[in-house]
Amino acid sequence: MASTSLSGPGLAPRSGQQPKQLVVFLHGLGADGDDLIGLAPHFADALPDAEFLSPHAPFPCDMAPFGRQWFSLQQREPARMREGLQNVKPIIDAYLDEMLTSRGLRDADLALVGFSQGTMLALYAGLRRVAPAAGIVGYSGLLVAPDQLRGEITARPPILLVHGEQDAVVAFQSMGLAKSALELLQVPVTTLARPALGHSIDDVGLAAGIRFLADSFAKKQA
């Protein structure tokens, strides 16, 4: 049974002040919020006024005896993945709304950073928010049901997609397909291919994500 109230680890702003930005990490299948919160100190170097949250997905992983999932991937047909994302979107939207409101922040002060299944959710939810986030960084993921997006898109945040060329879990070609679909809908998207990298985040991709969010927040504040 899923909980509609998400929880997980976080990191307060390095500045010691009230947060001016909120960065939310969305983990991959079979992991939990502890998996990505370790990236927060690296982002904090460039974003000292940002608070970082890494919620645990609401469902127990149904493909392993441990970990969490945003939706089931036992059946990977696009229609089933889209159904899973439709079901979890109200949960992540309610969480984001609550976290922003409680801090006096807006979507323009929000960034999403996803890995694998978390990237699928970040793209699905982020493109359907009432207002655009400052930015989305997606590692090793894909854009689910791009054919449905034209009639559903409500926000066009800037997006960075990073993918390893040797990814054996989510095909590297997924990045190019997502880029093409997003560009058709006038979503600003940048991509970074990482040679010899598998289903992971390397130092170059991490640094690119940090620069991208620092630039994205700066543009929102300008």
Provide CB contacts within 8 A for 148, sequence distance 6+: 82
What residue has token string 């999403």?
112
- The CA distance from 116 to 122, in Å, is 10
Is 116 noted as a catalytic residue in this protein?
yes
Is 62 noted as a catalytic residue in this protein?
no
Which one from 199, 200, 202, 215 is the annotated catalytic residue?
Answer: 199
Q: Residue 133, Cβ neighbours under 10 Å: how many?
A: 28
Is 32 noted as a catalytic residue in this protein?
no
Residue 51 exposed, middle or buried by CB count within 10 Å (0-12, 13-18, 19+):
buried
Which one from 35, 56, 109, 116 is the annotated catalytic residue?
Answer: 116
Residue whose C-alpha is closest to residue 179's, from 131, 130, 146, 215: 146
Q: Residue 77, Cβ neighbours under 10 Å: how many?
A: 8
Which one from 54, 56, 167, 216 is the annotated catalytic residue?
Answer: 167
Catalytic site positions: 116, 167, 199
